[in-house]
Structures are given as structure tokens and as C-alpha cells.
Amino acid sequence: MKNRSDKNIVIVGAGLVGSLLGVMLGQRGYSIRLFERRKDGRKVAEDSGRSINLALCSRGIHALKSAGLYNKVKPLLIPMRGRMLHTADGGQRFSPYGQRDHEVNYSVPRDGLNRLLVNEALLADAVDVVFEQKCTSVDFANRKAVFESADGSSNSHAFDLVIGADGAGSRVRRELVEATGGQSKSTFLEHDYKELEIPASKNGDWEIEKEALHIWPRGRFMLIALPNPGGSFTVTLFLPKTGEPSFATLTNREKLVEFFEAHFASAMKLMPDLLEDFFEHPTGRLGTIRCSPFHYSDCGLIVGDAAHAIVPFHGQGMNSGFEDCSELVRLLDENNEDWAKTLEDFSRIRKPNAEAIADMAIENHEMMQQGVIDPKYHLKKEVGFELERRYPELFIPRYSRVMFHTIPYAKAKQLGVIQRKILDDLTQDIDSIEQMDYSLAAKLLRERLVPVSG
């Protein structure tokens, strides 16, 4: 077996997933070269106005801990203990994510986390990071990748293994799918998004509840806000591309003000730069990428958004990418560093889980826009929490399985379908939790969940 330090691994993309994977493989003694098309974010702030805030949960935390980085990331994190729902009449309702102290999601700024991970990669002797290098082609047969520098010159780099962590527009994915005769499909929601901001108060405080993800659900569209260090909130407007209202119709300041006053008046009061942010920031698309396979022989792999970009409505894009990293190194251990077997296993294991979280993220979009407005949604959630308290060996809500556990996504989805039908049956004829029939609940749980829980 070739020594790890002699295996030349090229990672395309020094974003969150690529940087973490570089750290983890570098820690194992592999020789890593990370190529990033953007400028060095540690030296130049690149505010595209199109970076949805990130939620870190158990899967991502597990990966960071396995790399020994979680304690370094902690200062960047702000706990979010639930959703704060802002109603059309200006009211608020807090809906906790879970019922245990550890069932918390964490808001983390993408740029700060990326800078930290790049720094950690550079601290590893075996890792080299090169910026302003755009991947233009990958030749798997001859194991060479070509990059274009900022000055327009091209340079070729040999590899034993190339890993594409180059995002939803991945060049490595396109080349890998063509080389394998595989498939790749991109689908987009009818909604786009725009990033806005609630700045900190004059005292540097948060203007609204700090430890919550704020949602202004309005049926076909919504506004969300996640807290940042320093007192500000990153606000994201999700709105249809066409129709009324839509991004296509909000074409001037008067229409924008009228729209926000009608639907988001409480938020608008906290957004002094709304007009500038809206018309200066680009509009982003919301898409899902499904492809197969994720690997080429023993010399090619795609991870994170390059393999399975998803919409952001379950807060799992980064977390699933980080889980790719921890799963890859777990498989390397399991297969005694046999890369051919590891890459084959990775594709086989991660593909169905990527499909499952993609589906659940799309489902969550509907729930966040409309479901949270329905009183029945809150009743089912309350009943679900009570079932978890009474029968913890049988019932864990699907959301908790995804966010606070590391059960495979596909298993969480499978159990979630059964649990949803149980909750539908239990709440069909009741209006409050006091009317719950727990003998019936126990019967349904034991009949329907036990065979698939193991």
C-alpha cells in the first residue's frame, strides 16, 4: 500500500466542506492540495449578498468534533432554541425545536466559519491551499485536473484522487457524470430568495429575541431571520419568481414598501436599509441536485453540494456536507484505507440519504410557509412531544431525528412517514392535547413502529 503522504489528493473547492475534508484527511497524513476559485476570504471580504445564514446541528457538530475543531468553532455560535413565529397582526409565538436542553440548533456565519476552517487546513503540514484557481477540466483516465489562474493562464495538476467540493455548479460533477455515464438532474423551486438585514441596535444588542430562528410565514411566501454575533440578523425573503406578489412585480421602491407594510410591517421597522439591500443584492435561486454516482473508480469523488445540493429549509446543507466528511473517514477506517472500496461504499451509502434529506427539505419549505400557521400543526407537535416523553423508546419526532441525532436520513424519513400517519390518526377528532387517548397511542406505536425501529 502506498504511504498516505505519497498519495496525491486534489480537493476542488475550499469552501466549508472542502476545507473541513482537507483538515480531516491532512490529519490522517495524506498530501492535500486545495484549489479555490475565489480570493482568499481571510484577506478580502467577499459579500455577495447571497449567503443564507447557516444552522449547525448534531451531524455537523459530530464532524467538527471528530476533527478536533468544535471548541474552536464554539465562539462563532449562537443557540437557537426554537422558531419565533411572527403573525400578520404583529403577534409572536415561540415554538421550541425540542424538549431537552441539548435540542438546540446554532446559527453560524458562513464567512467566519469558512475562514476558521481554511486556517485550520493551512495549519496542517500536509495541506496546501491555492486561491483564485478555477477548475476548467478533469481527466479521470489520465488523472489530471486543469485550473485557470486569475491572470488567465492554465496549469495542469496530476492527482491520485480528485475530490469535488466545488458547490452546486461543480465542474468535477459534470466531468464525473460524463466519465461514468451517470446521471445528474437539477430542479428549482418556483421561489427565489433575497438576503436582507436587521442591524444591531445602537447599543449593539439584538432587536428581537436572540436565541430563535424568526419566521414571518405568509402562505406563498415568508421572511426568516437568523442571529449573528454582534447583534445583527441575517434576513432572507423567500418569494415566488412570478405572479402577484413576486420578485417580478417588486420592481420599484413604492411597490416594495407597500408589500412590506402589508405583510412584514413588524420586520420592516427594524430594517433601515431595506430598500438599498433589496435592490442592490442579487436574487438567488433555490435548487436541488440529484446525481449518481458520487465516485469514479478509485480516483474521483464528489461531496457536499457538488453531489447533492438541497434547498435550505431543513438547515441541512452544511450539516449533510460535513457528515459526508465524517462518513468518508469512517469508511476509510472500516476499509483499512482501501480507497476503491471506500469510494464505492460512500456512493452506495450516501446516495439514498442524500435523496431523503432533499425530499424532507422540500417538504419543510411548505411547512415553514403554511404549516406553522395551522393550529393542527401545533397540536400534532405538542402530541409528538408528549409521546416522546411517555414512550421515548418508540417515538422521536422526525425533526428531532434529523437535527439532534445522527440516524441516517433515509431511516428518519421512513420513520417520519409512519409517525405522521399516527399523529394524523390520533388528532383527527380532537382539538386539544387534553382529549388525547394514550391507550390508543400506545397501541398504534407498538403496532406500527416497533417492526421498523431497530
pLDDT per residue over 252-305, tens digit each? 999 999 999 999 999 999 999 999 999 999 999 999 999 999 999 999 999 999
Could you tell me where the DSSP H helices lie in 335-408? 339-369, 375-390, 398-404
Overall average pLDDT of the 98-106 stretch:
92
Q: What is the pLDDT of residue 42?
A: 77
pLDDT over 70 for what percent of the chain? 96
Q: Scan for cell 430568495, then name that residue.
A: 193
Helix (H, G, I), strand (E, B) or coil at 372: helix
- Using alpha carbons, select from 147, 128, 124 the residue that is nearest to residue 67: 124
Contacts 24+ apart (CB under 8 A), 79-83: 79/104, 79/105, 79/106, 79/107, 79/211, 80/55, 80/104, 80/105, 80/106, 80/107, 80/211, 80/212, 80/213, 80/226, 80/227, 81/211, 81/212, 82/212, 82/213, 83/212, 83/213, 83/214, 83/215, 83/372
Q: What are phi and psi of 162, to 5 degrees?
A: -115, 135
Model confidence band, residue 134 (pLDDT cutoffs 50, 70, 90): very high
Q: What is the pLDDT of residue 126?
A: 84
Q: What are phi and psi of 395, to 5 degrees?
A: -125, 120
Q: Is pLDDT above 70 for 344?
A: yes
On whether the pTM is more than 0.85, the answer is yes
- Using alpha carbons, select from 64, 58, 66 the residue that is nearest to residue 97: 58
